[in-house]
């Protein structure tokens, strides 16, 4: 499994997940009229399929940080992509007109709008760059500086309300700092498990939650399982780049959001 194939799998699972958020059960009902239960289940399965996407992208960012010739240039490209993608993300996935939001939540989504996953990836790459600078200094004691740095960038991601927030930033760093594929897969499972346990605790021990965006109930444990499945894909990664399409994802991310938004307006 080379980098190109991993990227394609990540893109496909991401699109399936985003299609579920953007189009919802109404779109599925066009193909299964009069069967809302089936439509809700299809949306739920689409959400599950989308769970491996972010860990795969986090892994590819970590690999990109490892092999790039210029960290400033790499981070700059991610930042520009995050800025370009934000308007498309806001209209396609933010769902500001969803009737389930309270008046306060509705207002906050305009004053402090959520930010797209590229913001999280950019912050994660910044953490890795700082860590690399500490490594290059030759002083092992400076590596411990990454702990407060992680906290700062965790806080930034949470305040910016980017996709996966501080958890996403930590995952990118872990996938860069962990030395081999086997340990990286363990890191993903530990990360997914920690995320699940925290969400479980915050929900008061509920294993089922109602997703207001999808309008369906789903099991938190299933979310954990499918996110952890990304570890199996990374385990068979052979370290090869495969087809070189550096600009594929850069252009595809905002483009697919635009297409989904257009479909949402049509249907």
Give per-residue pLDDT as tens, 24-49: 777 777 777 777 778 777 888 888 89
CA–CA distance, 170 with 148 (Å, rounded to integer): 12
The pTM of this model reads: 0.85
Mean pLDDT across the chain, nearest whole number?
Answer: 82
CA–CA distance, 258 with 250 (Å, rounded to integer): 14
**Is residue 107 scored above 60 in pLDDT?**
no
Answer whether 219's CB lies under 8 Å from 210's CB: no
Torsion of CA 146, 147, 153, 158, to 10 degrees: 160
Q: How many CB atoms lie within 10 A of CB 221?
A: 11
pLDDT of residue 72: 95
Residue 217 has phi, psi (to 5 degrees) of -90, 145
180-217 burial: b if 16+ Cβ within 10 Å, else e: ebeebbebbbebbeebbeeebeeeeeeeeeeeebbbbe
Instruction: Give 57-106 pLDDT, tens digit per residue.
Output: 999 999 999 989 999 999 999 999 999 999 888 888 765 444 344 444 44
Comparing 202 with 155, which gets the higher pLDDT? 155
Could you give the number of structural domains in the chain? 1
**Is residue 225 scored above 80 in pLDDT?**
yes
Mean pLDDT of 224-234: 89
Domain that holds residue 50: 3-266
- With residue 39 as reference, give the H or E element that holds it: helix 36-50
**Is residue 179 scored above 50 in pLDDT?**
yes
């Amino acid at each position: 499994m080379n980098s190109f194939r991993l990227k394609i799998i990540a893109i496909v699972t991401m699109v399936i997940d985003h299609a579920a958020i953007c189009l919802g059960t109404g779109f599925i009902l066009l193909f299964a009229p009069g069967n809302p239960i089936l439509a809700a289940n299809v949306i739920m399965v689409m959400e599950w399929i989308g769970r491996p996407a972010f860990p795969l992208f986090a892994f590819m960012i970590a690999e990109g940080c490892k092999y790039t010739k210029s960290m400033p240039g790499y981070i700059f490209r991610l930042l520009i992509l995050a800025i370009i993608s934000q308007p498309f993300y806001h209209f396609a996935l933010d769902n500001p007109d969803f009737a389930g939001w309270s008046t306060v939540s509705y207002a906050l989504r305009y004053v402090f709008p959520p930010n797209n996953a590229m913001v999280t990836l950019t912050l994660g790459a910044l953490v890795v760059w700082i860590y690399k600078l500490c490594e290059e200094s030759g002083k092992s004691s400076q590596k411990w500086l990454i702990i407060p740095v992680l906290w700062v960038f965790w806080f930034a991601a949470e305040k910016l309300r980017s996709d996966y927030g501080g958890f996403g930033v930590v995952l990118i760093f872990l996938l860069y700092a962990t030395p081999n594929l086997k340990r990286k897969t363990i890191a993903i499972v530990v990360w997914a498990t920690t995320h699940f346990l925290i969400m479980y605790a915050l929900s008061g021990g509920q294993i089922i939650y109602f997703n207001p965006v999808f309008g369906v109930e789903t099991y938190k444990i299933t979310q954990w399982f499918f996110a952890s499945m990304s570890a199996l894909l990374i385990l068979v990664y052979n370290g090869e780049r495969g087809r070189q399409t550096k600009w594929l994802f850069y252009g595809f991310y905002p483009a697919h959001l635009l297409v989904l938004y257009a479909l949402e307006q049509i249907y």
